[in-house]
């Protein structure tokens, strides 16, 4: 099912300095910036960073993280994630903490496997989700309510 938002021209007060960012937030508006090029995520309130930049693991080239502007629509404190690997085999990841879905099956979440530095090496990635250290994921999970804007960009 496809939903179409009708365009409007409502006035919006933009936070001082937000015009220099990828999202023109209102003063004190919570939003999350995911920079895929630098592999970093930053939580903002208006134009002020409140946490980050946080190193993240993004999608493999053949399972890339989406780009665009979205909103957190679903949260789970802990979830077992299931899906398909690029080769068609199935994966099961139990106990994934602090899950915030922002579009379809794409989420920001903690990665219990984070302690392995191999995930920062070339060729490693996710199935499209944005993986963070568990402590940062828990902070983001508690800070960001449903409806928080998420901007993912190169």
pLDDT in tens, 64-89: 999 999 999 999 999 999 888 778 88
Q: Which of 105, 84, 81 minimizes the C-alpha distance to 92?
A: 81
Q: What is the mean pLDDT of residues 20-35?
A: 95
pTM of the model: 0.87
Name 70's bridge partners.
Answer: 150
Answer whether 41's CB lies under 8 Å from 10's CB.
Answer: no
Tell me what pLDDT residue 60 has: 81
Sheet of 130-132, strand order: 74-84, 90-103, 106-110, 130-132
Q: What is the mean pLDDT of residues 93-98?
A: 92
- Three-state DSSP at 73 gives coil
- Render pLDDT for 38-53 as a digit per residue (tens, 0 to 9): 999 999 999 999 999 9
Q: What is the mean pLDDT of residues 145-152?
A: 98
Tell me what pLDDT residue 22 has: 95
Q: What is the mean pLDDT of residues 127-145?
A: 94
- Inter-CA distances, 68 with 17, 22, 23, 38, 149, Å: 21, 10, 11, 16, 10
Confidence of residue 6 (pLDDT cuts 50, 70, 90): confident
């Amino acid at each position: 099912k496809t939903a179409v938002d009708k365009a409007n021209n409502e006035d919006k007060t933009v936070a001082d300095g937000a015009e220099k960012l990828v999202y023109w937030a209102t003063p004190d508006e919570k939003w999350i910036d995911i920079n895929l090029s630098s592999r970093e995520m930053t939580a903002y309130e208006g134009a002020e960073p409140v946490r980050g930049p946080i190193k993240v693991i993004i999608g493999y080239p053949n399972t890339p993280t989406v780009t665009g502007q979205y909103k957190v629509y679903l949260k789970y404190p802990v979830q077992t994630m299931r899906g398909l690997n690029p080769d068609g085999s199935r994966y099961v990841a139990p106990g994934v903490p602090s899950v915030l879905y922002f579009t379809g099956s794409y989420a920001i979440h903690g990665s219990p496997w984070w302690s392995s530095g191999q995930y920062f090496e070339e060729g490693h990635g996710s199935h499209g989700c944005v993986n963070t250290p568990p402590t940062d994921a828990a902070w983001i999970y508690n800070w960001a309510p449903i409806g928080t804007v998420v901007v993912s960009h190169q």
